[in-house]
Homo-oligomer: A and B are copies of this chain.
Amino acid sequence: MSLATSVLAGERLAMARLLSQIENDEPGGREALGELFPHTGKAHLVGVTGAPGTGKSSLVNRLAHYYRNPSSGEPQRKIAIVAVDPSSPFTGGAILGDRVRMRDLSGDPGVFIRSMAARGSLGGLAPTTSSMVQVFDAAGFEIILIETVGAGQAEVDIARLAHTTLVVEAPGLGDEIQAIKAGILEIADILVVNKADRPGVENTERALRSMLELAHPTRRVVEHHGAVETININDSGMDSESLWIPPILRTVAIQGDGIPELVQAIADHQAHLETTGERHDRDRARLQAELEQLIQGNLVSRWRQEVSDSQYQEILESLIARQISPHQAVEALLNGGQSA
């Protein structure tokens, strides 16, 4: 039985092995992914991002709990969690600490948790995460929570993998931190003010609301409804023009407050994506981005095989001696590569 077949049958050991092969970029992993790919496209991918200190991990844990133990009448879901820490091997501790809190989840066959600490180059973090998500998707996990630490470009790239992106904020993290978080507001489908029992929650909400007004074409909504006062940016976000305005939800994750409402907002957004056809557009954009990143990597490795080491070193030395400029070096290397 091939590794891919075992994964399709839901064998956890096979999944763990394949995820490791993917992380180490082994050829076997690539082959299995090719077999699994036709079985993907069913899961709902939920990105969870935000600045450090906002309590993302607790929120992800509570969401997973709720999906496993929903209110009566709601279906139980199979949940995978991919926790990506792109900052450093040193920060592994932070994520591992949070994972300890998840012990009660880990005995549940309907939950699979995988932490990724990036070592060395981060260029491949988003494609690797994407491949891992494909494994969970093919194995029948219905909701895949992708948690990233921080607010840099790697996190934004990873968040773009998701169908629904939660941006998590918390009161009292300071003004400059608020400013930097604005960058990821642009990718937010749902804004969560976690630790909402802390002082300053109204200020945080107000700041988010004014940033939303900058980031989204709310003016159209205003005109449609006739007056600024009628915008309720806190509701589930659909207006008659099928424009999604990110709702702002309060949670206190460690107490479970606001979790059912957040699960409902995720379901609303999922329905919005289906109704408007945006889900297909997002899948398309995601696969296209993945394709282009793979092509880029392939082009570079093919070119490296074409150029001889001595030729490369010679041109590099001329560059370092400032005899030729970087652009002249590129010309020399690419033309050299073609004639070789």
Contacts and interface: CB of A to CB of B under 8 A. Distances in A.
Interface of A: 30, 33-34, 37-38, 40-41, 52-53, 86-88, 90-91, 93-94, 122, 149-155, 174, 176-177, 179-180, 182-186, 211, 214-215, 283-284, 287-288, 290-292, 294-296, 298-300, 302-303, 316, 319-320, 322-330, 333-334
Contact of A52 (B41, B91, B153, B180): B180
19 contacts: A38-B325, A41-B322, A86-B152, A87-B152, A90-B182, A90-B185, A90-B211, A91-B182, A94-B176, A150-B151, A153-B153, A287-B316, A288-B316, A291-B333, A294-B330, A295-B303, A295-B333, A298-B334, A299-B334
A86 B333 CA distance: 30
A326 B37 contact: yes
Contact of A152 (B152, B176, B296): B152
B179 A93 contact: yes
Given A34-B327, A152-B152, 9 more contacts: A37-B322, A52-B174, A87-B152, A87-B180, A94-B176, A283-B320, A295-B333, A296-B299, A302-B334
Main secondary structure of the interface of A (DSSP, over half): helix
A174 B211 CA distance: 25
Nearest to A56: B176
A91 B333 CA distance: 39
A290 B333 CA distance: 14
A62 B299 CA distance: 46
A185 B284 CA distance: 38
A154 B153 CA distance: 7
